[in-house]
Structure 1
Amino acid sequence: MYVQHFVGLIHHPKEEWEEIVEEKYSIVQCYLRYIIWLAAIPAVSVYIGTTQVGWSLGGGDTVLLTEASALPIAIAFYLVLLGAVGAMAYAMYWMEHTYGVDASLERCFMLTTFTATPMMLAGLAGLYPVMWFDVMVGLVAVTHTLKLLITGVPILGHISEERGFMFSMSVVTVGLCVLVAVLAITVILWASVTPPVFIR
């Protein structure tokens, strides 16, 4: 069902969002059915890419992480992604009254789950950790995420497209803050808790 909805969101987003609104998902269902699996995609991909493929900075030698040091980093990354999805959904719910949005916390989780899917799928680029490639895949994913957000908010929130656009831009701002927080947590973990061990 989820894959069918996601494909529908690519081809006819407005009609598919209307179908999604009719379905009832609890927060637990969003996590157990979808988010725990989606968040595993970038975590596992980055683990494989950094331990089996490696990367090169400036055309020098290929650098790899040891499997023992990459595993706790991948697990921490996975847990941070799970927290980030929850933080985004709660932020949407917290801001909804400012914009006159009529959405429950459950609907906010549904919206976050579907709009985060392109970003999670883009995590497959971690299997091939080359900067230019990962940036290009990331830009495509961000573009599609914005499209899903802008088309989904008015339908799930029962508001006009203009108000939905304003709300979506506020969500994007919060998303950037969450991204900075994820990067900061990553740096702290790398520096103190799970330092990487490099091999050439």
Structure 2
Amino acid sequence: MILDRIWGLYAHPKTEWHTIDNHHESFSYSLVHLALIALIPSVCAYFSTTLIGWNLGYSHIDNMMLTHESALVMAVGMYFTLIAGVFALAYLMFWMAKTFGAKPSFSHTVELASYTATPLFMTGFALFYPEPIFLMAVGLAGVAYSVYLLYSGIPIIMRIPEERGFIYASSVVTAGLVLLVCIMVGSVILWSVGLGPIYTH
């Protein structure tokens, strides 16, 4: 069922959003979907940084790799941060809903946020080819499609006119960017106090 939903969001997103709206899944189902899809970037990052290594464009430097312990800590941190980020976005959508005349349940906003984040999380597979330009291109494509899903899904799931849904989605995107900046700042602070990556060489 999860794979069917993912395929539908890629093949015929608006039709799939209508299907989701007509057959809302339970809160626990959304949690399972989120828990599974958040594994992709976390697990891929772990194996990429421990088995493949990263080269940030310095030809005279060998691929940089992390120790297994350091990579595991960072992968686990990434996993829970991604899940927390989706929940924060879902809460923001739930909190702003009344302003735009929508009355969703929190379960519906978690469902919307989870499916919207799916393309972005699936770009984690690109970490198996850790070339900066390639990762940037794939990442931008993932972000763009997630934003498209948000804009196309909000009017349907929230059951509001498209014009109002556009403003609603734009507000969510803005809040999401602020949330992303907060996560990045938090990461820098943690790195500065000694919780950063540990390289093998």
What TM-score do the two structures reach when normalised by structure 1? Answer: 0.93
Residue in structure 2 matched with residue 15 of structure 1 by the alignment: 15
Residue in structure 2 matched with residue 51 of structure 1 by the alignment: 50
Secondary structure of 1:55's match? coil
1:34–1:113 Cα contact (<8 Å) kept = yes
Residue in structure 2 matched with residue 28 of structure 1 by the alignment: 28
Give the alignment of 1:27-106 within 5 angstroms.
27-31=27-31, 33-57=32-56, 58-61=58-61, 62-106=63-107
Secondary structure of 1:102's match? coil
Give the alignment of 1:155-170 within 5 angstroms.
155-170=156-171
Counterpart AA for 1:198: Y
Counterpart AA for 1:89: A
Distance 1:193 1:94, change over 3 A: farther
Counterpart AA for 1:60: H
Shift of 1:79: 1.0
Residue in structure 1 matched with residue 188 of structure 2 by the alignment: 187
In structure 1, distance between residues paired with 2:193 and 2:47 = 22
Counterpart AA for 2:130: P
1:118–1:141 Cα contact (<8 Å) kept = yes
Counterpart AA for 1:3: L
Compare relative contact order (CA 8 Å, sep 6+) and give the higher one, 1 or 2. 1
**Deviation sequence 1:163-189 (CA, Å, 0-9, x none):** 111111111111111211221222233
Give the alignment of 1:67-146 within 5 angstroms.
67-146=68-147
Secondary structure of 1:198's match? coil
Distance 1:23 1:38, change over 3 A: same
After the TM superposition, which parts of structure 1 deviate over 3 Å for at least 4 consecutive aligned residues?
A: none
Secondary structure of 2:197's match? coil
In structure 2, distance between residues paired with 1:134 and 1:11 = 23
Secondary structure of 2:151's match? helix
Q: Supply the RMSD in Å over aligned alpha carbons.
A: 1.4
In structure 2, distance between residues paired with 1:105 and 1:76 = 25
Structure 2 unaligned runs (5+)?
A: none
**Which is further off, 56-65 or 152-161?**
56-65
Shift of 1:129: 2.1
Secondary structure of 1:84's match? helix
Counterpart AA for 2:35: I
Distance 1:99 1:153, change over 3 A: same
Distance 1:24 1:193, change over 3 A: farther
Counterpart AA for 2:192: A
Shift of 1:193: 5.4
1:73–1:194 Cα contact (<8 Å) kept = no
Structure 1 unaligned runs (5+)?
A: none
In structure 2, distance between residues paired with 1:131 and 1:12 = 31
In structure 1, distance between residues paired with 2:13 and 2:80 = 29
In structure 1, distance between residues paired with 2:196 and 2:141 = 31
Percent identity between matched residues is 38
